[in-house]
Amino acid sequence: MNISDKKFTISIDLMGGDNSPDKTLEGVDLFIKRNKDKKDYFFYLFGNSDLVIDKIKKLKYLKSNYKLVDTKVVVSNDLSPMAALKKGKGSSMWESIQSQISKNTDVTLSAGNTGVLFVMSKMILKMLEGIDRPALAGLWPSDKGMNLVLDLGANVECSEKNLIDFSEMGSALYRSLFPNEEVKVSLLNIGSEELKGTEVLKNAYSKLKTLENMGDFKFVGYVEGNQITSNISNVIVTDGFTGNVALKTAEGVANFLTKNLKKYLTENLFSKLSILFSYFSLKKFRDKLDPRKYNGAIFLGLKGPVVKSHGATDSLGFSYSVELCYKIAKGNLNQKIKKNLENVKNLNEKG
Amino acid sequence: MNISDKKFTISIDLMGGDNSPDKTLEGVDLFIKRNKDKKDYFFYLFGNSDLVIDKIKKLKYLKSNYKLVDTKVVVSNDLSPMAALKKGKGSSMWESIQSQISKNTDVTLSAGNTGVLFVMSKMILKMLEGIDRPALAGLWPSDKGMNLVLDLGANVECSEKNLIDFSEMGSALYRSLFPNEEVKVSLLNIGSEELKGTEVLKNAYSKLKTLENMGDFKFVGYVEGNQITSNISNVIVTDGFTGNVALKTAEGVANFLTKNLKKYLTENLFSKLSILFSYFSLKKFRDKLDPRKYNGAIFLGLKGPVVKSHGATDSLGFSYSVELCYKIAKGNLNQKIKKNLENVKNLNEKG
């Protein structure tokens, strides 16, 4: 195949999450609408054709650039991940992951249950050599764009090795998504002094200082919770417990503030009038911080990349996780991860 | 002394924090202004009289209800807590803590260095019987008022016993501050299911289930980061690492959002005009969420209560930490803590 003919192939589970497959299909359609000028992507869509075909006909942009794979097995949301795994073969989620092997697709996207997606992906794709824990990475709005935070909850407790692996995998992901930016890795801690934090953090700190010279990233040391949105670093590494608490706390505070702002801005006629004058400014504010633009968490450490869309997002939110998949495929994420891990291995062998 | 003559005595380090002693003195003055109707408090003020006396003369409300204790020793901010401890005897911070023993005052307030205040308090006041780790508790705005979160950073790693102690001490504090509310304790976790989290959390969970029947509090189980601002619980218990990250992340997100909101609302003439119309509503919004109203973290587990004001806050912020001290003294915090710890002890002896 000529290099210019190369198409990045994205496998999509159409059936996961709320209001699917309508939401997922409309999301794909919205992505294509925003990327009409590009011809370098192709979709494998997995879902029950009885529920999908009529909907596809009504879409404006999803035309020749896809292949629909009929899947009839349905896995109940009430099952535990392990039970779902047993019954999952032949489901849209299973087949969308499996297609990375059978159809050699570049990346998988699903809005289904996180736990099930996680164990299924691990079982089908297997772990990358040298990695014993996969991580869940997510985008976080920052002063000048977007930062990456990982792990967001895949691992309750992490060793020093895990944190180093997350740094290397996170760097590779950041470089895939933002090829023109310098990668700046930090460890989330409760103070910026070298003496603070757990033993695991202190050991990871000194190891990362050495790895920095391998050229995969710049290591900027510790950051605190209030610096996750700053530009001091763009890859913030932490264990899954802390990362999950930070993410959920941030969501909670953002909701709390916007709820209160809305309450006060609509409390009387004057303040309501003010909204007329500030409509476009408030809209820009909302647009910039719209959580749908950050939709999509990435499982790192598997032999193929898997993206989890928020189950409750709408078609716009889903379209951004499709975009994330496209960037991951184009950025050749797993090649970059392998190269970085090779550097860690070399360092370990040296001493 | 007649019960109606009882005055709650508050020891204040005038010299700690930025812009002190002006800020601290004005803060005390503001507190008295807001509480003119009350006659049941008295201040012991510790500071360099050369720097304090002229300022006091200019204040409107601070008149007969205080005693100034001259302290001349100054401890540099550059010293480590341990070095500061050695040189600290006779300083305003030292004497304000020591006065809980020598003058039998009810509570100490300082805006000085957190680490120094912590080790000094621990050394002078000693730990409560049965407690091996003190905790730092703070107020957190919630949908219907204020919640308490602890530990906010005193202990990087915590055992199951620590989390139980924090629950009992946090309950006592909440009851002191809000005597009419039901106390609802929760553990911060990354999911609400009983199976999630670390072993330490799971063990603390089942122990708290038993303790709930002692009547000190209602145990509502696990909450996630996005529920810290909710009314599901009002005493949220976690280890110091997680608590500190959650607190700082919340601060960071709040700053990030307000900074962006301000930017968009002042970007053009229309949006600027809108501020005229919404001025009072936006002011109410800002007032409700003003971090100065939540100023003051409480060290729990010592034989006397110590409150740490933010070093960078202004006189209004300091006045709210004076108010916190007043409520703690009035609520008889340490008596309540002792009673709660007695309950834990009884339970441990039974089983």
Half-sphere exposure of residue B71: CA atoms within 13 angstroms, side-chain side:
28
Residues of B within 8 A of A82 (CB-CB) are: none
Cβ(A204)–Cβ(A185) below 8 Å: no
- Is residue A235 within a helix (H) or strand (E), and if so which, with residue range? strand A235-237
Hey, of B253, B269, B275, which one would you mutate to test binding to chain A, going by the most A CBs within 10 A of its CB?
Answer: B253
> Could you tell me which CATH class the domain A1-131+301-331 is placed in?
alpha beta
| Contact at CB, B249 and A252, closer than 8 angstroms | no
Q: B103 phi and psi, to 5 degrees?
A: -115, 5
Could you please state the CATH topology (level 3) that the domain comprising A133-295 is classified under: Isopropylmalate Dehydrogenase (3.40.718)
Please say if the pLDDT value at position A3 is more than 60.
Answer: no
- Report the share of chain B in percent with pLDDT over 70: 93
CB-CB under 8 Å, B225 with A245: yes
Instruction: Note whether A245 contacts B260, CB cutoff 8 Å.
Output: no
> Which residues are CB-neighbours of B324 under 8 A, at least 6 positions away?
B139, B177, B295, B296, B298, B307
Q: B250 and A248 in contact by Cβ < 8 A?
A: no
Query: Could A157 and B197 be called an inter-chain contact, meaning their C-beta atoms sit closer than 8 Å?
Result: no
Token output for B154: 């005193």
Segment among A76-80, A141-145, A274-278, B262-266 with least mean pLDDT: A274-278
Q: Quick one: angle between helices B199-211 and B333-350, nearest 10?
A: 100
Confidence grade of residue B179 (pLDDT, cut at 50, 70, 90) = very high
**CB pairs A-B closer than 8 Å:** 189
Choose the weakest-confidence range: B220-229, B257-266, B289-298: B257-266
pLDDT at B273 exceeding the cut of 80: no
CB contact under 8 A, B278 and A255: no
Tell me if A249 and B252 make a contact (CB, 8 A cut-off). Answer: no
Contact between A289 and B265 using a beta-carbon 8 Å cutoff: no
Q: Residue B282: in which H helix or E strand, if any?
A: helix B269-289
Q: What's the pLDDT at A14?
A: 97
Please state at what angle helix A333-350 crosses helix A160-177, rounded to 10 degrees.
140
Mean pLDDT, range A214-238, rounded to an integer: 94
Residues of A in contact with B224 (CB under 8 A): 244-245, 248
DSSP class of residue B73 equals B
Residues of chain A with Cβ-Cβ distance to B270 below 8 Å are 277-278, 280-281
What is residue A288's predicted lDDT score, i.e. its pLDDT? 73
What is the pLDDT averaged over residues B280-289? 71
Q: Give the confidence band of A274 by pLDDT, cuts at 50, 70, 90.
A: low
Q: Distance, in angstroms, between A311 CA and closest chain B CA?
A: 16
- Residues of chain B contacting A225 with CB distance shorter than 8 Å: 244-252
Task: Determine the distance in angstroms separating the CA of B281 from the nearest CA of chain A, rounded to an integer.
Answer: 5
Q: Is A331 on the interface with B (CB under 8 A)?
A: no
> Which neighbouring-strand residues pair with A338?
none
pLDDT per residue over B202-237, tens digit each?
Answer: 999 999 998 887 778 999 999 999 999 999 999 999
Model confidence at A192, pLDDT cuts 50, 70, 90, reads low
Q: What is the mean pLDDT of residues A202-211?
A: 92
Q: Tokens 């370098």: give the residue.
A: A40
Distance CA A39, CA A258 (A): 39
- For the domain spanning B132-298, the CATH number is 3.40.718.10
A47 touches chain B (CB under 8 A): no
Mean of per-residue pLDDT scores for chain A: 90
Give the pLDDT band of residue B4 (cuts 50, 70, 90): low
Q: What mean pLDDT is reported for chain B?
A: 90
Contact residues on chain A for B290, CB-CB shorter than 8 A: none
> Does A197 sit within 8 Å of B240, measured CB to CB?
no
- Phi and psi at A169, nearest 5°, equal -70, -40
* Mean pLDDT, rounded, for A282-295: 78
Average pLDDT over residues A64-69: 94
**Residue A74 or residue B126, greater confidence:** B126
**Residue B195 contacts A, CB cutoff 8 Å:** no
Report which of residues B69 and A261 the model is more confident about.
B69
Q: How confident is the model at residue B1 (pLDDT cuts 50, 70, 90)?
A: very low
Amino acid letter, residue A336: K
C-alpha dihedral, B22 to B28 to B34 to B37, nearest 10°: -140
- Decide yes or no: CATH 3.40.718.10 for domain B1-130+301-331: yes
**pLDDT for res B47:** 97
The Cα A206–Cα B173 span in angstroms is: 40
Residue A276 is predicted with a pLDDT of: 64
Domains A1-131+301-331 and A133-295 share a fold: yes
Predicted confidence at residue A265, as pLDDT, reads 72
Q: What is the pLDDT of residues B30-89, one digit of tens each?
A: 999 999 999 999 999 999 999 999 999 999 999 889 999 999 998 877 778 888 888 899
How many angstroms separate the Cα of B30 from the Cα of each of A43, B34, B63, B314? 66, 6, 13, 11
Q: Is A181 at the interface with chain B, CB within 8 A?
A: no
Of B58 and A5, the one with more pLDDT:
B58
Q: Do A229 and B267 touch (CB under 8 A)?
A: no
Query: Which residue type sits at B254?
Result: A
pLDDT attached to residue A351: 56
| A86 min Cα distance to partner chain B (Å) | 21
pLDDT at A1: 46
Cβ contact B170:B237 at 8 Å = yes
Looking at CA atoms only, how far is residue B93 from chain A in angstroms? 23
Which tokens go with A313?
């997002």
Domain boundaries, chain B: 1-130+301-331, 132-298
- Give B277's pLDDT tier (boundaries 50, 70, 90): low
Residue A262: closest CA among chain B residues belongs to which residue? B285
- Specify the pLDDT at position A85: 85
pLDDT at A278 over 80: no
The answer for B 268-287 residues in CB contact with A (under 8 A) is 268, 270-271, 273-278, 280-282, 284-285
Calculate mean pLDDT across residues A296-311. Answer: 96
B186–chain A nearest CA distance, Å: 14
**What residues of chain B lie within 8 A of the CB of A287, using their CB?**
none
Q: Tell me the pLDDT band of A4, cut-offs 50, 70 and 90.
A: low
Please tell me the distance in Å from A231's CA to the nearest CA on chain B: 12
Average pLDDT over residues A87-96: 94
Band of pLDDT at residue B16, cut at 50, 70 and 90? very high
Which residue from B minimizes the CA distance to A288? Answer: B260
- Looking at per-residue pLDDT, the higher value among B130 and B258 belongs to B130
B87-134: pLDDT as tens digits = 899 999 999 999 999 999 999 999 999 889 999 999 999 999 989 889
* Chain B contact for A155 (CB, 8 A cutoff): no
Task: Compute how many other C-beta atoms are within 10 angstroms of the C-beta atom of residue B267.
Answer: 15
What is the pTM (predicted TM-score) of this model?
A: 0.89
Residues from chain A contacting residue B196 (CB–CB below 8 Å): 156
Q: Does B328 touch chain A (CB under 8 A)?
A: no
Beta strand B66-70 with B218-223 is unpaired
Which residue does chain A place closest to B239, by CA atoms? Answer: A242
